[in-house]
Every structure is written in structure tokens, then in C-alpha cells.
């Protein structure tokens, strides 16, 4: 499997589990690397840390949920 495919599998796992507690070691394993290597590689490729990415995606999802409902905060 190619590196981009492995990274995409890990990102897909993160996206599918944004609302749950993430197992970042599992995500790193999907990318065939250690967690430290995965975090460095992710930062190099995306320009943001893994934790920044997760936080931004969770906030974006929360904003979408608020926008699509009449619920108040």
C-alpha cells in the first residue's frame, strides 16, 4: 500500500470517529507508523498538527450541527 493510501485510511478513521474518543495509536497503526512518526508526518503533509486538525474538524462539525437545527446553545 502506498503512503498516501495509508494516510487516507488513518484520516478516514479519525473522521468516522470524531464524536467518539479517538485511539490515535490505532490511527497511526493504520498509517503503518508509530504515533510520533504519524504526528510528524501529518504535520509535514497538512501544515497543522494532528490535534489542531481534530479540534478544527470537531468545531466545524459542531457548527454544522448548530446551523442545521433550531437548537439554542
Assigned domain for 56 exists: yes
The reported pLDDT for the residue numbered 13 is 96
Instruction: State residue 1's pLDDT score.
Output: 61
**Among candidates 12, 8, 38, which has minimal Cα distance to 24?**
38
Q: Which tens digit of pLDDT belongs to each residue from 20-58? A: 999 999 999 999 999 999 999 999 989 999 999 999 999
Whether residue 30 is contained in a domain is answered as yes
Residue 73's pLDDT band (boundaries 50, 70, 90)?
confident
Domain containing 62 equals 3-67
Does 73 map to a domain?
no
Number of domains the chain contains:
1
| 72 within domain boundaries | no
- Whether 3 has a pLDDT exceeding 90, the answer reads no
Give the separation between CA 26 and CA 32, rounded to whole angstroms. Answer: 10
Amino acid at each position: 500500500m502506498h503512503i498516501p493510501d495509508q494516510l487516507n485510511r488513518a484520516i478516514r478513521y479519525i473522521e468516522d470517529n470524531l464524536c467518539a474518543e479517538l485511539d490515535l495509536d490505532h490511527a497511526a497503526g493504520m498509517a503503518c507508523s508509530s504515533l510520533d512518526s504519524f504526528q510528524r508526518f501529518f504535520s509535514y503533509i497538512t501544515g497543522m498538527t494532528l490535534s489542531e486538525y481534530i479540534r478544527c474538524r470537531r468545531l466545524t462539525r459542531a457548527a454544522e450541527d448548530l446551523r442545521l437545527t433550531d437548537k439554542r446553545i
